[in-house]
Amino acid sequence: MRIKSSLENYILVLPALLIFSVFYIIPFIWVFQLSLFDWDGILPVKTFVALANFKEILFQDSSWWQAMRNAGYITLVALTFQNALAFLLALACDRQIRMKNFYRVVFFIPPILSEIVVGMVWRFIINDVDGANIINRFFYGIGMPQLAHNWLTDPDIALTTVAIVHSWKGFGWGFLIFLAGLQTIPRELYEAARVDGANAWGCFKKITFPSMVPVIVLVAILTILGTMQAFALILGLVGGEFAGHTSVPVLRILSVMRDSSRFGYACAQGLSFGVILVVISFIQYRLSKRYRQR
């Protein structure tokens, strides 16, 4: 009986483990090995350079760190703007019983659309050169020309534009999860609070927010992981790295692989990126645990 029980444990995990070890671990080991070499991806000859690649990334590759900073910026915008928007929309939808289903479907359309479409359409809407630039025309129309900018071609604001479009595409997920979380809060709590004389803000502070903390943490982790790895949207919007101003880590890795044939170096970049993400998630996890224990 005991043996059968332990066996069952392993049977449950086995398929996942098998597939994972074959299709992830093995390529991972291969990439890890490669990051220690200088290889062009074609020749059967590789030169062992040990940690030289990593050293170069850490201390000499300024374009890599610019890409990381950019990704960090986009992620910050996502964590604040995108998730705040998602949260507010979820709150609003939670109250409104009418049309709730309509909004639930509509808000999830951006994540569904392929990144090509999103890039193309937004480029069309906000680009002054090859698009209709509907936004700027709108500003001119309502008599506020100073608000019109070159959203995608001005190097100072291009990254922010990308971040906003990215948030537009991403808030649907957060909205869904927040809404789900909000709906699990029992209505009786609110009624009881109202009987006790609490107003809307008090309800929010004492009931809504504390219950939502684990959800917020979950969404935050997922947002960071997802946004840091974003790249396809940027390709569609700006066409590339825009002299580094809209460069992000994954784009950097891809362009290194393609333009300089330094496969080993690209692998090292990928690994460093992964390590940074793991560290960030770990810190977040620890912080959230401490907050919950309070």
Partner 1 sequence: MLKLKFHFFVFGTFFMLSIFSGCMPSHGAGKPTVTVWHWMTDRDPALKELAKRYEAKTGIKINFELYAPSDAYSQKVRAAAQGASLPDIFGILGEKRDFASFIKAGFVLELTGYMGENSGEWENVFFSKALAVNGFNDGNTYGVKPGIYGVPIDIMTIQMLYNKSLFKKLGLNPDKPPKDFTEFLGMAKKIKAAGLQGLVSGWGEIWMIDCLAGNYAFNIMGPDKVIATIKGEVPYTDPDWIKVLSLFKDMQESGLLVSGIVTMVNKTAEQIFANEKAVFAFNGSWCVNVYKGMNPELKYAVFLPPKASDNYPMVIRGGAGSSFMVNARSSKKEEAVKFLRWLTDDDQQAYLAEATNNLPANKNSISRVPEILASFAKSMDCATHPNIWGVRESAPVIEVFGKGIQSIIIGKKSPEQVAAETQRMKERELARKRK
Partner 2 sequence: MKSLIYYKTKKITLDLLTHLFLFSIAVTCLYPLLWMVASSFKTQETIFSDISLIPKKFHFENYYFALSESDFGRYLLNSVFYTVAVVIAIVIIASMAAYAFSRLRFPGRNIIFAVFIAAMMIPIPGSFVALFVLLNKLHLRDTPLGYILCMINVGLSMSIFLLKTFFDTMPRELEDAARIDGCSKIGIWRHVALPLAKPVLAVVVVLNALNVWNEYVLALVIFDNKNLMPLQRALMIFQGEFLTNYPLLMAGLTVTALPIIIVYLLMQKYIVKGVTSGALFG
**Binding of residue 240 to partner 1 (CB under 8 A):** yes
Give CA torsion, residues 208, 210, 214, 218, to 10 deg.
60
Please choose, out of 99-107, 150-158, 167-175, 271-279, the segment that lies near partner 1 by the rule CB under 8 A.
Answer: 150-158
Of 268, 243, 271, 266, nearest in space to 254 by CA: 266
127 binds, among partner 1, partner 2, none (CB under 5 to 8 A by kind): partner 1
Shortest spacing between CB 181 and partner 2, in angstroms = 5
Cβ atoms of 212 and 181 closer than 8 Å: yes
44 binds, among partner 1, partner 2, none (CB under 5 to 8 A by kind): partner 1
**Who's near 156: CB < 8 A, 6+ residues apart?**
none
Shortest spacing between CB 212 and partner 2, in angstroms = 9
**Binding of residue 8 to partner 1 (CB under 8 A):** no
A 10 A CB-CB count for 60 gives 9
Sort residue 253 into left (φ over 0), alpha (ψ -120 to 50) or beta: alpha
**Binding of residue 260 to partner 1 (CB under 8 A):** yes
* Between 4 and 187, CB nearer to partner 1: 4
Cβ atoms of 159 and 73 closer than 8 Å: yes
* Between 210 and 240, CB nearer to partner 1: 240
Residues binding partner 1 (CB under 8 A): 40-44, 60, 63, 127-130, 150, 152-153, 155, 158, 238-244, 258-261
